[in-house]
Amino acid sequence: MQPDVKPWAGRARADALARVKAEGRRKGSPCVICRLAINYSLEYPDPQSCSVQHIKPRSTHPHLTWSPGNWAPSHLECNQSLGMRDWQGLGVMSEEW
């Protein structure tokens, strides 16, 4: 039986986004999906704002939901257009993205 995983919501989600944005800004990381630059100063709900992309999807890897090594920056619209589909474009998980 799968252990309970805290939902991707609330203050913890906001903190995860803040971490991804700060790290992405520091490194100049592009969107992990489209590989174009992200303007890290944009805020939700701007479609070009930064969002947290889970490298291994939460739907198939719920135990990795809160693992920072499973997070990467993406544009909100890229993340939303990907939806629940699994994709192989990201490679291996790492704390360094």
**Whole-number pLDDT of residue 82:** 82
What is the model's pTM?
0.82
pLDDT by residue (tens digit) across 43-70? 999 999 999 999 999 989 999 999 999 9
- pLDDT exceeds 90 at position 2: no
- pLDDT exceeds 90 at position 79: yes
Banded pLDDT at 92 (limits 50, 70, 90): very low
Mapping DSSP onto H, E and C, the string for the chain reads CCCCCCCCCHHHHHHHHHHHHHHHHHHCCCCCCCCCCCCCCCCCCCCCCEEEEECCCCCCCHHHCCCHHHEEEEEHHHHHHHCCCCCCCCCCCCCCC
pLDDT by residue (tens digit) across 3-12? 688 999 999 9
Q: Where are the domains of the chain?
A: 10-82
